[in-house]
Amino acid sequence: MKKVSILGSTGSIGTQSLEVCEKHGFEIVALAVNNSVDMLENQARKFKPKYVGIFNEDKFTELKNRLADTNIKILCGMDGLCEIASLEENDIVLNSVVGMVGLLPTLVAINSGKDVALANKETLVAGGELVMSLAKKKNVKIYPVDSEHSAIFQCLQGNKREQLNKIILTASGGPFYGYTYEQLKNVTKADALHHPNWTMGNKITIDSATLMNKGLEFIEAKWLFDLTPEQIEIVVHRQSVVHSAVEYKDYAVIAQMGVPDMKIPIQYALLYPDRLDCPTKQLSLTDYGTLTFEKPDYTTFKCLSSAINAISRGGAYPCLVNSANEEAVKAFLNDEIKFIQIGEIVSSVLDKFKFSTISGYDDVMKADRDAREYVRNIIA
């Protein structure tokens, strides 16, 4: 029985991960959330972890009172997340928190020698170099949870890594597929929050609408699979059935397919290398009939081209565009800016900031602060 801790347990990935853990009888060591006291209390009573953590320290007393009749140890803040990430009992830490907040707990888990199932994109986007070099040093495995990266990981099994030519990262295209820049000017928050294929949290749903999500995944893929930007091709595939593919030296292309359900990649990350019954639907190719593939529109979707530009330039740029995007998305969700401004703000970062290097965690945090301050000044 595997022992799992989940950071971000009440989010979309977190709740689906618990479903997978329940199905396979995993022991839940700890659960941590940002804010959701009600849901965390319910999860704690159901899964009986030894520890729970709440990132928002203002909610600590309330959570403590709610669980006063249990033996569960209550932790809070970044220290709480990091304590959970480093617990001796963990076999694997599933990190599905949203945003830059996820970076430090990932580094702490790796430093403690714990394998990580990674659903927090920002961890690799902002700190890819730090995370991958520490994982190598500590001989820790990072299992991708994101459907595209899981697909690539699956397609790499049983083949020689040095015989890989490139990867093909598929993108659904989001709710504004086919829109012109003019049309994007008038889209509303409700439009942006409606994704055609996937049900996800608000941040990632907006990132899918701007295609920033694919830009972040491009950067993640570069780090996870040790690729150059030239080895990554993005292909718009509206049906989200081919979750990504890899091409080898002989031009054989291997793709991984399945219904669009995150429980398949979550389960592969937690059960690797086993493939057992999953609480999802079977894929019927004949129900789909047609699968389509197109080039993305890099001109209209500025976030996508900016993210690729950022990783090609290297240094702090990926972190800067990521943090600028987080801040811009927050402002959009608060009705402070229009949808189209997200891409304008993110792309402006590349002109605004000079090249700087990342040699440690503090450099990442500085780039994060600088980018957020820059965005807040634009909005104010």
Q: Where in 126-155 is the site for Mn ion (CB under 5 A)? A: 146-148
Q: Least distance to Mn ion from the beta carbon of 262, Å? A: 9
- Residue 230 C-beta: closest distance to Mn ion, Å: 21
**Beta-bridge partners for 93:** 5, 116
Distance CA 376, CA 380 (A): 6
The residue count for binding Mn ion (CB under 5 A) is 3
Residues 266-295 that bind Mn ion (CB under 5 A): none
327 touches Mn ion (CB under 5 A): no
Q: For residue 68, with 0-12 CB atoms within 10 Å meaning exposed, 13-18 middle and 19 or more buried, which class applies?
A: exposed
Distance CA 323, CA 126 (A): 8
Shortest Å, Cβ 287 to Mn ion: 22
**Between 53 and 265, CB nearer to Mn ion:** 265
- Give the nearer residue to Mn ion in terms of CB position, either 83 or 207: 207
Query: Closest approach of Cβ 3 to Mn ion, in Å?
Result: 27
DSSP-derived 3-state class of residue 348: helix
- C-alpha–C-alpha distance, residues 73 and 307, integer Å: 40
C-beta of 105: minimal distance to Mn ion in Å?
20
Residue 216 or 337 having the CB closest to Mn ion:
216
Q: Which is nearer to Mn ion, 80 or 173 (CB)?
A: 173
Using CA atoms, how far residue 131 sits from 103, 134, 335, in Å, is 8, 5, 34
Q: C-beta of 315: minimal distance to Mn ion in Å?
A: 25
Does residue 93 contact residue 110 with C-beta atoms inside 8 Å?
Answer: no
Nearer Cβ to Mn ion, position 147 or 325? 147
> One symbol per residue from 343 to 372: x for binding Mn ion (CB under 5 A), - otherwise; what is it?
------------------------------
Q: Which residue of this chain has its Cβ atom nearest to Mn ion in the complex?
A: 146
Which of 17, 43 has the CB closer to Mn ion?
Answer: 17
- As measured in angstroms, the least distance from the Cβ of 147 to Mn ion is 5
Residue 181, both tokens: 């820049």
Farthest CA pair distance, the chain: 62
Which stretches of the chain bind Mn ion, using CB under 5 A? 146-148
